[in-house]
């Protein structure tokens, strides 16, 4: 029997809204199909558009553990799958002293007692779970190829222990900021969705849902300014995460609007590079943006 939040695309979309995540067009359908077809979901989009937040929201809806694998250059199997607790193994060897059964002692070093679960193994063994493979584009090609094999099998092979297979596959969500192209072999095995920046009306709705006591006029000013900034020539384009930080910062400072003083005090929530400071300040001030100058 299908749980109510997963009974239809509309039900899943409503469930996401209930936990504070507003899916854009097509995203609820992509997630629904990923769950029902048991396929990984590959999400691309600019930083801050809600890729990671979707995995967090789905873990709430599914009452599942969220297991996050943060990718980076040089990551390998020992960081992703499993490893052995070497300090405990050494202590175990010392504790055995001069036992005659050397082979038995060595074999005992590679038991579950000394196994360290890394994210993929933890997600496979603990059902239900949501496995977030975050920023796969930061990993090396070799890791991407290794990950492909593991995700297809829903199992981890450990030479000393054999194959560990999950009772049911986790919901796997892979994200990419598109710092490099991910290989087609990986994309081919996933459902794909591009998460775009929200339009002004949706961003206003997100801000008012996520930031308590945010005046509608301030939410409108922030969302409108962000739309201008996303079409400006910036080193780092701000996402929804920056919009939320700005809204919370304005309220913390006791402001009710984007005045020059408030904007100067909160620039660091939106501008992440020195080269962007002047443009961000100009575009955040109501009436000071591109439309006012044209």
The CATH number of the domain where 23 resides is what? 3.40.50.300
Write down the pLDDT at residue 289: 56
Residues 141 and 259 in one domain: no
Same domain, 133 and 60: yes
Are 216 and 274 found together in one domain?
Answer: yes
- Percent helix, percent strand, percent coil in the chain, to nearest 5: 50, 15, 35
Higher confidence at residue 158 or residue 226?
A: 226
Q: How far apart are CA 194 and CA 177, in angstroms?
A: 10
Residues comprising the chain, all counted: 294
**Same-domain pairing of 107 and 132:** no
User: What element of type H or E holds 290?
Assistant: helix 290-293
Tell whether 293 is covered by a domain.
no
- Structural domain ending residue among the three candidates 96, 117, 138: 117
CA atoms of 30 and 235, how far apart (whole Å):
30
**How many helices and strands (H and E) does the chain possess?**
15, 9
pLDDT tens-place string over residues 144-168 = 887 877 777 888 888 888 888 888 8
Cα gap 247→11, rounded to integer Å: 30
Task: Tell me if 111 sits within 8 A of 45, measured CB to CB.
Answer: no
pLDDT (0 to 100) of residue 292: 46
User: pLDDT tens across 248-288, in order?
Assistant: 999 999 998 999 999 999 999 999 999 999 999 999 987 66
Enclosing domain of residue 107: 82-117
- 79 phi, psi to nearest 5 deg: -85, -20
Number of domains making up the chain: 3
Q: Is there a domain that residue 292 lies in? A: no
Name the DSSP class of 196. Answer: P
- What is the value of pTM for the model shown? 0.85
Is beta strand 171-176 parallel, antiparallel or unpaired with respect to 41-44? Answer: parallel
Q: Which of 225, 236, 222 is nearest to 289 (CA)?
A: 225
130 and 240 in a single domain? The answer is no
Q: Are residues 94 and 188 in the same domain?
A: no
- Reported as a single tens digit per residue, the pLDDT across 99-123 is 556 666 777 788 888 888 899 999 9
């Amino acid at each position: 029997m299908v749980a109510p939040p997963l009974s239809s695309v509309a039900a899943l979309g409503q469930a996401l809204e209930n936990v504070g995540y507003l899916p854009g067009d097509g995203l609820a359908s992509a997630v629904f199909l990923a769950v029902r077809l048991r396929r990984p979901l590959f999400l691309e989009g600019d930083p801050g558009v809600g890729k990671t937040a979707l995995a967090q929201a789905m873990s709430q809806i599914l009452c599942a553990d969220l297991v996050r694998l943060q990718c980076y250059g040089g990551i390998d199997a020992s960081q992703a799958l499993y490893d052995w607790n070497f300090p405990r193994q050494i202590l175990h060897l010392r504790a055995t002293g001069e036992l005659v059964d050397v082979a038995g002692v060595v074999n005992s070093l590679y038991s579950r007692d000394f196994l360290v679960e890394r994210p993929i193994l933890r997600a496979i063994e603990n059902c239900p779970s949501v496995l977030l493979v975050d920023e796969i584009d930061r990993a090396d090609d070799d890791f991407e190829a290794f990950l492909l094999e593991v995700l297809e099998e829903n199992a981890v092979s450990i030479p000393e222990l054999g194959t560990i297979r999950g009772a049911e596959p986790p919901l796997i969500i892979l994200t990419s900021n598109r710092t490099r192209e991910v290989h087609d072999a990986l994309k081919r095995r996933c459902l794909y969705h591009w998460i775009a920046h929200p339009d002004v009306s949706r961003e206003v709705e997100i801000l008012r849902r996520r930031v308590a006591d945010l005046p509608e006029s301030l939410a409108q000013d922030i969302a409108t300014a962000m739309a201008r900034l996303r079409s400006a020539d910036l080193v780092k384009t701000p996402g929804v995460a920056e919009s939320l930080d700005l809204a919370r910062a304005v309220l913390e400072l006791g402001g009710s609007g984007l005045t020059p003083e408030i904007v100067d005090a909160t620039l660091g929530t939106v501008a992440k590079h020195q080269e962007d400071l002047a443009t961000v300040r100009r575009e955040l001030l109501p009436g000071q943006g591109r439309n006012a100058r044209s």
